[in-house]
Amino acid sequence: MPSNVIQWFPGHMAKARRQMEENLKKVDFIIEIRDARMPQSSKNPLIDELARNKPRLVILSKKDKADPAMTEAWIEKLSNDNTRVIAVDLIKENFKNRIIQESLALNQALIEKQKKRGIRPRALRAMVAGIPNVGKSTMINSLAGRKAAQTGDKPGVTKSLQWIKVGKDLEVLDTPGVLWPKFESEKNGLILAALGSIKDDVVHMDDLALYCCQYLMDHKPQALMDTYGLETIEETPWPTLQAIARKRGWLQKGDIDENRTMRTFIQDIRSSKLGRITWEQPDEDAASE
């Protein structure tokens, strides 16, 4: 494990873990939200640890910012007998009925068991969980039809627990976003930082820019060339970023303005100026899933 593995575990997230443990016994299944641009890095290992064998509906949010073919590949990879996976645009889609139907399908065995016992099936109960900034509060508010949860671009906005009724068939328990004490790998931490799921002061902007540039050179070179008007891609990230800086005029006294170059490049990534990009390949992450 590299010595500079990113560590970030605010106190309110330790409290959130305890709250999740206490409330899991009250729910039938888990709705886990991940970012479609980083389905592996935005997975929270604590959910696996705490949820054990509870059914899970995985929602890949921000699908409008991810590569569509990669999203389909991730849906296939993550789906199994106990897990259903869908991708949604939480801002523009009307997804409420779809989530209700997926929840009913996921819990069909429980519903049938209740019917056989002569029990009228009650509303399913789900815990909504996910790391900060994946759109959890936005989804809760859409399901509730009102501003039931706080939203914000900064990680760690949700701080308390609340039940939300979603029609007659579903009730969901909102939980604070939870990150883990240390990331599974330095790469996971860099991806999370690049897409804004952890605070900027946790990592160095140079590391982010160089990592992201290398990934784009390997997987989306045309996006780099088209976005910045490059005729060729250099062999390593820093010369590529220098070429971008010269094209864009990110200069200071005729030299490359390094701080501006790194910062603006990451801003371009976060605002999707390079197009719909998925920052993890499902085949590369087979071993870590």
Q: Considering only CA atoms, which of 98, 97, 111, 16 is closest in space to residue 55?
A: 111
- Residues 210, 234: Cα–Cα separation, whole Å: 13
- Greatest mean pLDDT among 75-89, 121-135, 161-175: 75-89
* Domains of the chain from N-terminus onward: 11-174 (3.40.50.300), 204-270 (1.10.1580.10)
pLDDT at 10 over 70: no
Look over the chain and give the mean of its residue pLDDT values, rounded to a whole number. 85
Q: Rounded mean pLDDT of 212-230?
A: 97
- Residues 135, 133: Cα–Cα separation, whole Å: 6
Q: Which pLDDT score is estimated for 3?
A: 44
- Residues 237, 209: Cα–Cα separation, whole Å: 8
Q: Considering only CA atoms, which of 47, 34, 32 is closest in space to residue 74?
A: 34
> 60 with 88: CB under 8 angstroms?
yes
Higher pLDDT, 243 or 121: 243
Q: Which pLDDT score is estimated for 184?
A: 66
Q: Which pLDDT score is estimated for 7?
A: 58
pLDDT at 4 over 60: no
pLDDT per position as a tens digit, 19-46: 778 888 889 999 999 999 999 999 887 7
pLDDT per position as a tens digit, 181-195: 456 678 888 998 899
Position 65 confidence tier, pLDDT thresholds 50, 70, 90? very high
What are the Cα distances from residue 2, in Å, to 60, 187, 238, 263? Answer: 29, 10, 22, 24
pLDDT per position as a tens digit, 197-218: 877 777 889 999 999 999 999 9
> 123 with 170: CB under 8 angstroms?
yes
- Residues 240, 190: Cα–Cα separation, whole Å: 19
> Which residues 6+ apart lie within 8 Å of 273 measured at CB?
227
Q: Which of 32-36, 74-78, 130-134, 261-265 has the lowest mean pLDDT?
A: 130-134
Q: Which pLDDT score is estimated for 220?
A: 96
Q: Which pLDDT score is estimated for 1?
A: 37
Position 62 confidence tier, pLDDT thresholds 50, 70, 90? very high
